[in-house]
Amino acid sequence: MMNTEFIITRATARDVPKVATMVGELLTEIMTTINIQAFHFDLTETMERLSDFIKNEKYVVFVASRADDGAAGFIALYESYALYAEGAFGTIPELYVRPEYRSHALGKRLVSYAKTFGFSRGWSRLEVTTPPLPQFDKTLEFYEREGFAITGGRKLKIAL
């Protein structure tokens, strides 16, 4: 029987390898599903970037692990500022639960940690962008169940 007891902790430097690995899994899942090479992923570069983000508090990451220390998922947050949001707010750039741990309410628990953290920071809201639709309609449904509302528009980017 699979151990499904999860411990959620704030990531530290020692969590960087397992979080970076899961980032690669997330990006691979998205690209495989949409059949587009939308991201570049290099594990070493991602670990270096994540180490810097955590060390300099650019990112806050909560990691869900099994009691035996196997990583099951994570959520990342960063603080943003906007006049339309009336000040500081949080953005969720990544949320990932490994497929074998989905349907264990782990995503819900990670979002709950994000909400609590955001409230403690005085954020006015949390924002998230889903992966491409309709391929990730289930992701959109998950966020809506967690209280997120569609605000319209689309995420756009330009390489610099």
Q: How far is CA 70 from CA 8, 19, 30, 54, 64, in A?
A: 12, 11, 22, 20, 9
Residue range 90-105: mean pLDDT, rounded = 95
Residue 91's CB is within 10 A of a number of other CB atoms, namely: 16
> What is the C-alpha to C-alpha distance for residues 3 and 10, in angstroms, rounded to an integer?
21
Beta strands in the chain (DSSP E): 6-10, 60-66, 71-82, 87-97, 126-128
Record the pTM: 0.92
For the domain bounded by 6-145, which CATH number is listed? Answer: 3.40.630.30
**Three-state DSSP class for 151?**
coil
pLDDT tens readout for residues 109-119: 999 999 999 99
pLDDT tens readout for residues 127-157: 998 888 889 999 999 999 999 998 877 788 8
